[in-house]
Homo-oligomer: A and B are copies of this chain.
Amino acid sequence: MRKEGRLTRWIGWTVVAALLLLSFIIGWFAKPTCPNTPNDTASGKYLREFLDEMRPEQIREHLRKFTRLPHLAGTEQNLKYAEQIMKEWKEYGLDSVEMVPYDVLLSYPNKTQPNYISIIDQLGSEVFNTSLAEPVPEGYEDVSNIVPPYSAFSPKGQPEGDLVYVNYGRTEDFFQLERDMRVNATGRIVIVRYGKIFRGNKVKNAMLAGAKGIIMFSDPADYWAAGVQPYPDGWNLPGGGAQRGNVLNLNGAGDPLTPGYPAKEYTYRLSLEDGVGLPKIPVHPIGFHDAINLLKNMGGPIPPNNWKGALNISYRIGPGFTDDFKSQKLRMNIHSNNQITRIYNVIGRIRGALEPDRYVILGGHRDAWVFGGIDPMSGAAVVHETVRSAGRLISKGWRPRRTLIFASWDAEEFGLQGSTEWAEDNAKLLQERAVAYINADSAIEGMYTLRVDCTPSLHTLVYDLTKQIASPEEGEEGVSLYESWHKRDNWTDNRDAPRISKLGSGSDFEAYFIRLGIAAGRARYTKNKKTERYSSYPVYHSVYETFEVVEKFYDPSFKRLRAVAQVRGGLIFQLADSQLLPLDVNQYADALGKYAQSIAQLGHRHPEEMNTYRVSFDSLFSAVENFTVAASDFHERLQTLNKADPLQLRIVNDQLMYLERAFIDPLGLPGRPFY
């Protein structure tokens, strides 16, 4: 009895003690923790769903839908597509979608007075004229509003003169022309081939050389892949095709009449004479069929081999024609108009759950020279699919930690105007709140492998992410995109990882990355740089950039575009939803060290000049060293960060977010205030 009683009591107390402990535990867990301790595991699950939701057939459909009609910036059709995108993004489930207009300077050919180039005889009669339009591809014969090839923002004019051939129109080409070949471009019309540098710079160089006009042509050496048929039987540029494009020198100013400010109704506008980057001499682009006719009878010296393209002519320098055609001259007939035109960005948002005041942006343009089969709609289709997939997640209860912004920019082809005006309109907010900008121009320019250009702090995220995405290549089932990419494009002998390049310029990320200092990146499918040496892709900016060129040649399964969608989408997902921002400061330090070394190496090639001007890289290397130490210390502190403390987390994330801003000088570069 005693024993039993003791045992009973003992058991009783044990039970009571256990109950007390249980109560304590219940009390502990009943109390809510801090409101903002989300869960990276849940986020990882949603990422998988987000990526898996993206479908090749959906991307195909988006692309088909938005490439039926030409939709040049400032035209009714491009507004209609904007309205359609707005409508569909709303249906997909974004919190808000708005249309944001600006009134910017655009340029169009005169509909009643076409642009062309003539060879004229002594009497001024036209003995040859370049074509007024490209032959329309099959299936699009009834389409109206195809703008003929032109150089946007060319001034009007009908200059006459002798022709001078200046290779690619680079600074070194004009130097060689004048110094070695002793040919002067002043007062003449220069003809250059497309490629190597931005066409606006060719025009600037021609102006500086005193030319009175400039013609640009697509040489098969630069726009023709061996063994490939011209469109529609292959993806090469037909001889009648020509590359449209703007010929501005904006240096990031956006609308030429409102540099630094959004082009709103209340904004002060410069006069046309004072507009930023507008060329002062007529400019016109032609295809290689026309180019043969202009070039074949040229006289003057025969150039070195690296000035010769792939046409069956001798590529003489000029000036003017050979003896037989001495009396013939060239006349450009340019009648384009600059006009202030309304453009429309579409801006959609998913409001962040915990940090609505932090923005992650996925933006790409919608305006196209004609159909935009590749540029930009292969990118726009990818954005569309990303929005659709994000909408599906929203419907399942997901909401990102930070705000996601999706943008369909207008008038990129006229100098990144839509994206730049919006950046100018929202500069303060973006500077204070934008975590990253991912660009979504053309998603494919080749059939070989992935290409990523981004700020160094994103390298690690790109690698991590591509390991979670499948290779789109046939026969690579079970192979990750990372592996597929790595195999095809390893960095260098020193680094065993897929190559990632620096961000350059020339697409809508400029205002975000170069002006505002927001971490940025872009990803697309690309060609094999080692074997395919042509610039961009052959049908670039021609009427032959159709849905079919993608469907038949570049990505019949639409898996490559899906992979690009997964990379772009995965990047914004991780940037918006990770507790700790996935930006790697050590990678930044590493890249800076390499840049510094390559600058110093360039310097060491010119020891005399370095000595004369007393150039030293000591301060540069010292700064890089300081940065490297600070980055490494910071990275170490991250290891012990208490992620459950929302204020600690925010402070560290702010440091990560503002890292990229540190590299922006508000005074800009000399003469280039927006770079």
Contacts and interface: CB of A to CB of B under 8 A. Distances in A.
A19 B354 CA distance: 38
Interface in A1-59: 16, 19-31, 33-36
Interface stretch (A179-187, A239-247, A648-656): A648-656
By DSSP majority rule, is chain A's interface helix, strand, loop, or mixed?
helix
A401 to B, nearest CB: 10
A206 to B, nearest CB: 30
A427 to B, nearest CB: 7
Interface string A345-360: 0000000001111000
Nearest to A644: B35
A619 B268 CA distance: 12
Interface string A322-354: 000000000000000000000000000000001
Contacts of A30: 24, 27-28
A611 to B, nearest CB: 19
Interface stretch (A207-215, A447-455, A660-668): A660-668
A178 interface: no
Interface in A626-675: 645-647, 650-651, 654-655, 658, 661-662, 666-667, 673
Nearest to A642: B35
B28 A651 contact: no
A613 interface: no
A614 to B, nearest CB: 12
A25 B427 CA distance: 50
Contacts of A21: 23
Given A24-B24, A24-B27, 9 more contacts: A16-B16, A19-B23, A20-B23, A34-B35, A36-B647, A260-B666, A427-B666, A428-B661, A432-B654
Nearest to A646: B647
Interface residues of A, number: 41
Contact of A645 (B19, B26, B36, B266): B36
A25 B20 CA distance: 11
3 closest cross-chain pairs (CB), A and B: A27-B27, A23-B23, A24-B27
A619 B266 contact: yes
A632 to B, nearest CB: 20
A595 B303 CA distance: 68
B645 A647 contact: no
A355 B650 CA distance: 10
A366 to B, nearest CB: 29
Interface string A257-297: 00010000010000000000000000000000000000000
Contact of A658 (B27, B36, B428): B428
A18 to B, nearest CB: 11
Nearest to A37: B34
A567 to B, nearest CB: 30
A626 to B, nearest CB: 12
Given A31-B28, A661-B432, A357 B654 contact: yes
A530 to B, nearest CB: 41
Contacts of A23: 19-24, 27
Nearest to A655: B357
Contacts of A33: 34
A27 B354 CA distance: 28
Given A28-B31, A36-B645, A673 B662 contact: no
A559 B235 CA distance: 86
A662 B433 CA distance: 13
Contacts of A29: 27
A99 to B, nearest CB: 19
Contacts of A645: 34-36
A19, A20, A357, A666 — most chain B CB neighbours (10 Å): A666
Contacts of A673: 667
A540 B517 CA distance: 45
Contacts of A647: 35-36, 354-355, 646-647, 650
A645 B355 CA distance: 12
Interface string A155-192: 00000000000000000000000000000000000000
A321 to B, nearest CB: 50
